Amino acid sequence: MSDTEGSAPGDIASGRLDPETLARNFVDKHPPLDFKGAIVESSRCYFCFDAPCVQACPTGIDIPSFIRKIQTGNLKGSALDILNANIMGGMCARVCPVEELCEEACVRNFGERQPVRIGALQRYATDHLMAAGIQPFRRAAPSGRRIAVVGAGPAGLSCAHRLSMLGHEVVVFEARDKPGGLNEYGIAAYKTTGDFAQKEVGFILSLGGITVETGKALGRDVHLVDLRRDFDAVFIGIGLGGTRELGVDGEDLDGVEDAVAFIERLRQADDLTQVPIGRRVVVIGGGNTAVDAAVQARLLGAEEVTLVYRRGPQQMGATWVEQEWAQINGVTIRHWAMPRRLIGFKGQVKEVECEHTQLDEAGRLVGTGDTFRLFADQVFKAIGQKLVPDPLIEDARETLEIAGGRIVVNAERQTSLPDVWAGGDCIEGRDLTVVAVEDGKVAAHAIDRALRA
């Protein structure tokens, strides 16, 4: 079969579905609990001593305490239990893989396989507080210290909020037009409906003492050497700005792009009918971003969406819940396969040639030599992102230590430079919103201790 045999001209178009259908497709993935549902669900908690769910939460939320307060009608107190530990408890209630964290550890999960719906209860409490317009936190007496935070994602905003609570002035430099990081730009629209990401940012900033300067990129508009000179401390939460490449022929064809860029375009669209999508879409990768891209392609009107992953379902970065969600929404998952080349017609991607994979006797992933082809008008790459280190070393008298493509930090998130801390996806660890929030919180307390020493 030739490179063009069986191919047709590209077919990427907007308006595949009418506005009413799109509106239905992108409603809240998990509708919130109502009062009765919250009371019933909270009554299922055993309020364990040394609760395993608390140990499983990266931010250490006192889960039995906040659930008990829901039972007694103290929703403000419940929300405070959550937000004192995790200032982005509202977003985490929507996007956390609770099936691998708190709910997996729930003692009810072992006998009944029906854990308490901790995430839904967390959302119920935090949404109540935010809807009431309550700002429950107060700033400590001014310290006279100024800290620069680079990146207004979960790690940076968490750090900034805690530093402000501790009495410090914070300036946040953000490269994009809006703060929020991946919460704003990189998460599926059906997980964060109603512009929740910006509402949560507004809640965080309403504490005061935090100035956000958007359109300020590290290495372009601000430089580490200057920040270290002008501020008492620096926190870096820049995420992973680079895109990993497939490294195969045809990667530069039209219709091939990073999955995060697609999700960002969709999230920032005022009208979903104007977001173009192919009839046949192939997503390369096995993480939550791959699932988010694949499902949203289907919801936009793609007729066929195939997710290709080089290993089996147990090795996928996407949780089993996300994998089931993809299949429920009509996504075909092809395990044990990897792309070998992308085939084009007149500069437009038309097919993806994949090779079946397996593990050899040493446990290494290898190709079998057997190939197959998938027709594709669009190909989304979701094989991970990488740190762009240039802004961290350019023009610096001293450079940050980087290993394995991440900034090296100690337990307090302090880098190799004594006045610079870092957290979130740019350091080693699991790339989750809840982990980034904890990084920012830990770093803020470490910075505070260092400045008051």
Q: Which two tokens stand for residue 443?
A: 């770093």
Say if 81 falls within a structural domain: yes
Residue 136 lies in a domain: no
Q: 209: part of which helix (H) or strand (E)?
A: none
Give the domain extent around 311: 12-27+243-381
Domain contains 1: no
Same structural domain, 50 and 170: no
pTM over 0.95: no
Residue 84 belongs to a domain with what CATH number? 1.10.1060.10
Print burial letters for 391-425: b (CB count within 10 Å at least 16), e (below 16): bbeeeeeeebebeebbbebeeebbbebebbbbbbb
Note whether 176 and 255 are same-domain residues: no
Domain shared by 302 and 432, yes or no? no
Domain-ending residue, one of 74, 97, 131: 131
4 within domain boundaries? no
Please check whether residue 249 lies inside any domain of the structure. yes
Q: 149 forms bridges with which residues in the sheet? A: 172, 235
CA atoms lying within 13 Å on the CB side of residue 236 = 35
Query: Domain check: are 412 and 301 in the same one?
Result: no
Residues 294 and 345 in one domain: yes
- Tell whether 321 and 222 lie within a shared domain: no
Number of domains within the chain = 3
Three-state SS at 357: strand
Same domain for 367 and 329: yes
Q: Mark whether 103 and 188 lie in a shared domain.
A: no
196 is a domain residue? yes
State which of 131, 160, 187 marks the end of a domain: 131
Confirm if 428 and 406 have CB atoms less than 8 A apart.
Answer: yes
Could you give the CA distance from residue 107 to residue 113 in angstroms, rounded to a whole number?
A: 9
Domain assignment of residue 66, yes or no: yes
pLDDT per residue, tens digit, the chain (453 aa), is 334 333 344 589 999 999 999 999 999 988 899 999 999 999 999 999 999 999 999 999 999 999 999 999 999 999 999 999 999 999 999 999 999 999 999 999 887 789 999 999 999 999 999 999 989 999 999 999 999 999 999 999 999 999 999 999 999 999 999 999 999 999 999 999 999 999 999 999 999 999 999 999 998 899 999 999 999 999 999 999 877 899 999 999 999 999 999 999 999 999 999 999 999 999 999 999 999 999 999 999 999 999 999 999 999 999 999 999 999 999 999 999 999 999 999 999 999 999 999 999 999 999 999 999 999 999 999 998 888 776 776 555 568 899 998 999 999 999 999 999 999 999 999 999 999 999 999 999 999 999 998
CATH value at residue 326: 3.50.50.60
345 and 228 share one domain: no
Pair (410, 348) in one structural domain: no
Q: Which residues of 340-373 are buried (b: 16+ CB within 10 A; e: fewer)?
A: bbbbbbeebbbbbbbbbbeeeeeeeeeeeeeeee
For residue 258, list its beta bridge partners: 381
Domain co-membership, 287 together with 404: no
Torsion angle of alpha carbons 186, 192, 198, 200, nearest 10°?
-120
Q: Which of 131, 166, 196 is the last residue of a domain?
A: 131
Task: Please report whether residue 22 resides in a domain.
Answer: yes
Q: Are residues 328 and 351 in the same domain?
A: yes
What Cα–Cα distance (Å) separates residue 136 from each residue in 78, 81, 156?
12, 11, 20
